[in-house]
Structure 1
Amino acid sequence: MLNIIKKGIMFNIVLYKRIYLHYQSIKSNSIMKLKLLLICFIGTLFSMQAQTSVKPTTLENTGTISGKITDKNTNEPLPYVNIVVKENNKVITGDITSDKGTFQIKNLALKDYIVEIQFMGYKTISKSAKLSQNNSINFNTIALEEDAVQLAGVEVVSEKSTIVQKIDRKIINVGKDLISAGATAGEIMNNIPSVSVDPQTNAISLRGNSNVRILIDGKPTTMDAAQVLQQIPSASIKQIELITNPSAKYNPEGMSGIINIVLNKNSKLGFNGSINNGVTFGKTPKVNSSLDLNYRSGKFNFFGNYGINHGKYSNNGFINSKELNNENTQIFDMNSKNTSHLAKLGFDFNINDKNTFSFYTNQNISQGKDFGNTKVDYVSSGTNDRFQLFDNKSENHSETYNFDYKLDFKKEGHNLELEVNYNKNDSPENALYTNVNGATNSFTNDVKTFGKNTIVNLDYVNPLSETTKLELGLESRNENTDNNLFLNDAYNSDFTYERTLYSAYATLGKQWKKWNFQAGARLEQYNVEALFRKVNEVDSKFEDDILSIYPSAFITFNPSENNSFNLNYSRRVDRPSISQVNPIREWSTPTIDSEGNPFLVPQFTNSFELNYTRKTKIGSITSGIFYRRIQDEITRVIFTNPNDSNRQIISYDNFDNNNAYGIEVSGNLDLKKWWSANVSFDAYNKKTKGTIEDTPGNYEFVEIDVTTFNARINNTFKATKDLRFQLFGMYRGRDLSLQFDRSPMWKMDIGTSYNVLKGSGTISARFSDILKTMRFAFDGERPYRTNGEFNWESRTVYLGFNYRFGSGKNKAAVRKQRDKNETQGGGGLL
Structure 2
Amino acid sequence: MSFKTVSIYILFVFVLFQGLKGASQNIEIKGVVVDEVSKQPLSYATIVVASLDTKQAIAGAITTEDGSFSLNTKASKFYIEVSFIGFLSKTIEQFNLKNNTINLGTIELQEDASQLDEVVVKAETSRTEFKLDRRVFNVGKDISSTGMSALEVLNNVPSVSVNIEGIISLRGSSGVQILINGKPSILTGEGGALGSITADMIESIEVITNPSAKYDAEGTSGIINIIIKKEERKGLNGSLSLNSGVPDNHSIGLSLNRRSEKFNLFTQLGIGRRSNPNEGENINTDLINNTDLMNSGNEYRNEKFYNIILGTDYYIDPNNVVTLSGNFAYEVEDQPSNNLFKLFDENNSLVSQWERTEVTEATNPKWQYELQYKRDFDDHEDHDLLFSALGQSFAKDQSSLFNDVTVSGENRDAVQRTRADFSDYTYTFKLDYTKPFSEQWRLETGAQYVINDVSNDYEVENFVDGNFVTDEGLTNIFNYNQNVFGIYATGSFEGAKWGLKTGLRVEQTDLKTLLANTNEANNQNYLNLFPSVHTSYKVSDMVSLQAGYSKRIYRPRLWDLNPFFNIRNSFSIRQGNPNLMPEFTDSYELTSIFDIGKTSLNFGVYHRYTTDVIERITTSKDNVNITRPENIGANSTYGIEFNTKYSPINWLTLNADFNYNTFKRDGSFEAQVFDFKGNQWTSKLMGKFKLPADIDFEATGNYQSKYKTVQSVVSDMLFLDLGLRKKILKGRGVLNVGVRDVFASRIDERFTTQNTFLAYSKNARGRFVTFGFSYGFGKGEAMEYSGGRRHY
TM norm structure 2: 0.83
Q: Is the 8 A contact 2:146 2:200 kept in 1?
A: no
Q: Equivalent residue of 2:539, what SS?
A: strand
Corresponding residue for residue 38 of structure 2: none
Which amino acid is 2:311 matched to? Answer: G
Q: Equivalent residue of 1:449, what SS?
A: strand
After TM superposition, the structure 1 = structure 2 runs for residues 319-330 of structure 1, keeping only pairs within 5 Å, are 319-324=282-287, 325=289, 326-330=291-295
Measure how far apart 1:616 and its partner are.
1.7
Q: Is the 8 A contact 2:312 2:325 kept in 1?
A: yes
Corresponding residue for residue 656 of structure 1: 633
Corresponding residue for residue 531 of structure 1: 514
Q: Is the 8 A contact 2:698 2:722 kept in 1?
A: yes
- Partner of residue 396 from structure 2, selected from 427, 431, 451: 427
After TM superposition, the structure 1 = structure 2 runs for residues 600-615 of structure 1, keeping only pairs within 5 Å, are 600-615=580-595
Corresponding residue for residue 490 of structure 2: 507
Measure how far apart 1:499 and its partner are.
0.8
- Partner of residue 211 from structure 2, selected from 246, 250, 254: 246
Q: Equivalent residue of 2:200, what SS?
A: helix
In structure 1, distance between residues paired with 2:82 and 2:753: 70
Corresponding residue for residue 405 of structure 1: 373
After TM superposition, the structure 1 = structure 2 runs for residues 699-718 of structure 1, keeping only pairs within 5 Å, are 699-718=671-690
Alpha-carbon spacing, 1:774–1:522, altered in 2? closer, same or farther (3 Å): same
In structure 1, distance between residues paired with 2:546 and 2:727: 39
In structure 1, distance between residues paired with 2:436 and 2:269: 39
Say yes or no: does 1:462 pair with 2:403: no
Say yes or no: does 1:453 pair with 2:426: yes
Corresponding residue for residue 352 of structure 2: 384
In structure 2, distance between residues paired with 1:566 and 1:83: 43
Which amino acid is 1:298 matched to? Answer: E
Measure how far apart 1:276 and its partner are.
1.0
Say yes or no: does 1:300 pair with 2:273: no
In structure 1, distance between residues paired with 2:52 and 2:593: 32
In structure 2, distance between residues paired with 1:543 and 1:167: 39
After TM superposition, the structure 1 = structure 2 runs for residues 631-670 of structure 1, keeping only pairs within 5 Å, are 631-640=611-620, 645-670=622-647
Which amino acid is 1:630 matched to? Answer: T
In structure 1, distance between residues paired with 2:2 and 2:593: 20
Say yes or no: does 1:168 pair with 2:130: no
Measure how far apart 1:143 and its partner are.
13
Which amino acid is 1:449 matched to? Answer: F
Q: Is the 8 A contact 1:269 1:810 kept in 2?
A: no
Corresponding residue for residue 577 of structure 1: 557
1:457-514, Cα deviation, whole Å (9 max, x unpaired): 1111111122111111011110000110122275831011111111111010112341
In structure 2, distance between residues paired with 1:416 and 1:505: 15
Q: Is the 8 A contact 1:171 1:240 kept in 2?
A: yes
Measure how far apart 1:124 and its partner are.
2.5
Say yes or no: does 1:595 pair with 2:568: no
Alpha-carbon spacing, 1:266–1:634, altered in 2? closer, same or farther (3 Å): same
- Partner of residue 220 from structure 2, selected from 255, 260, 268: 255
- Partner of residue 346 from structure 1, selected from 311, 332, 337: 311
Say yes or no: does 1:764 pair with 2:736: yes
Q: Equivalent residue of 1:187, what SS?
A: helix
Corresponding residue for residue 22 of structure 2: none
Corresponding residue for residue 473 of structure 1: 446
In structure 2, distance between residues paired with 1:484 and 1:591: 23
Q: Equivalent residue of 1:596, what SS?
A: coil
In structure 2, distance between residues paired with 1:353 and 1:7: 12
1:21-70, Cα deviation, whole Å (9 max, x unpaired): xxxxxxxxxxxxxxxxxxxxxxxxxx9xxxxxxxxxxxxxxx97369x99
Alpha-carbon spacing, 1:689–1:268, altered in 2? closer, same or farther (3 Å): same
1:355-412, Cα deviation, whole Å (9 max, x unpaired): 1100111111001111112332122148434432221212111100011011122212
Measure how far apart 1:156 and its partner are.
8.2
Gaps of 5+ in 1: 1-5, 15-46, 48-62, 102-112, 129-141, 694-698, 813-830
Q: Equivalent residue of 1:230, what SS?
A: helix
- The count of residues paired between Structure 1 and Structure 2 equals 713
Say yes or no: does 1:731 pair with 2:703: yes
Which amino acid is 1:241 matched to? Answer: E
In structure 1, distance between residues paired with 2:49 and 2:203: 29
In structure 2, distance between residues paired with 1:658 and 1:434: 43
- Partner of residue 719 from structure 1, selected from 680, 688, 691: 691
Alpha-carbon spacing, 1:78–1:573, altered in 2? closer, same or farther (3 Å): farther
In structure 2, distance between residues paired with 1:246 and 1:499: 23
Alpha-carbon spacing, 1:668–1:257, altered in 2? closer, same or farther (3 Å): same
After TM superposition, the structure 1 = structure 2 runs for residues 194-209 of structure 1, keeping only pairs within 5 Å, are 194-199=159-164, 201-209=165-173
Measure how far apart 1:572 and its partner are.
0.6
Alpha-carbon spacing, 1:429–1:83, altered in 2? closer, same or farther (3 Å): farther
Corresponding residue for residue 280 of structure 2: 317
Deviates more, 1:227-236 or 1:352-361: 227-236
In structure 2, distance between residues paired with 1:143 and 1:559: 52
Alpha-carbon spacing, 1:609–1:99, altered in 2? closer, same or farther (3 Å): farther
Q: Is the 8 A contact 1:424 1:451 kept in 2?
A: yes
- Partner of residue 174 from structure 2, selected from 210, 217, 234: 210
Corresponding residue for residue 664 of structure 2: 687
Q: Equivalent residue of 1:754, what SS?
A: strand
Q: Is the 8 A contact 2:281 2:763 kept in 1?
A: no
Alpha-carbon spacing, 1:243–1:800, altered in 2? closer, same or farther (3 Å): same
Q: Is the 8 A contact 1:629 1:657 kept in 2?
A: yes
Q: Is the 8 A contact 1:760 1:804 kept in 2?
A: yes
Alpha-carbon spacing, 1:800–1:736, altered in 2? closer, same or farther (3 Å): same
Gaps of 5+ in 2: 20-29, 35-40, 66-77, 94-103, 462-467, 781-788
1:248-290, Cα deviation, whole Å (9 max, x unpaired): 11111311111111111111111111111111123xx321221
In structure 2, distance between residues paired with 1:755 and 1:124: 29
Deviates more, 1:117-126 or 1:187-196: 117-126
Alpha-carbon spacing, 1:150–1:478, altered in 2? closer, same or farther (3 Å): same
Measure how far apart 1:145 and its partner are.
5.3
In structure 1, distance between residues paired with 2:637 and 2:768: 36
Corresponding residue for residue 800 of structure 1: 772
Larger Rg: 2
Corresponding residue for residue 289 of structure 1: 252
Measure how far apart 1:150 and its partner are.
8.6
Deviates more, 1:714-723 or 1:290-299: 714-723
In structure 2, distance between residues paired with 1:566 and 1:690: 33
In structure 2, distance between residues paired with 1:772 and 1:517: 47
In structure 2, distance between residues paired with 1:181 and 1:547: 45
Deviates more, 1:154-163 or 1:249-258: 154-163
Corresponding residue for residue 97 of structure 2: none
Corresponding residue for residue 273 of structure 1: 238
Measure how far apart 1:746 and its partner are.
0.5
In structure 2, distance between residues paired with 1:318 and 1:86: 81
Which amino acid is 2:580 matched to? Answer: L
Which amino acid is 1:389 matched to? Answer: T
Q: Is the 8 A contact 1:183 1:288 kept in 2?
A: no
Which amino acid is 2:710 matched to? Answer: L
In structure 1, distance between residues paired with 2:218 and 2:52: 48
1:507-538, Cα deviation, whole Å (9 max, x unpaired): 1011234111110100111101111123xxx4
Measure how far apart 1:219 and its partner are.
2.1
Corresponding residue for residue 17 of structure 2: 65
- Partner of residue 503 from structure 2, selected from 520, 539, 543: 520
Alpha-carbon spacing, 1:327–1:754, altered in 2? closer, same or farther (3 Å): same
Measure how far apart 1:116 and its partner are.
8.0
- Partner of residue 673 from structure 1, selected from 634, 650, 661: 650
In structure 2, distance between residues paired with 1:115 and 1:524: 56
Which amino acid is 1:653 matched to? Answer: E
Alpha-carbon spacing, 1:406–1:439, altered in 2? closer, same or farther (3 Å): same
Q: Is the 8 A contact 2:748 2:764 kept in 1?
A: no
Corresponding residue for residue 396 of structure 1: 364
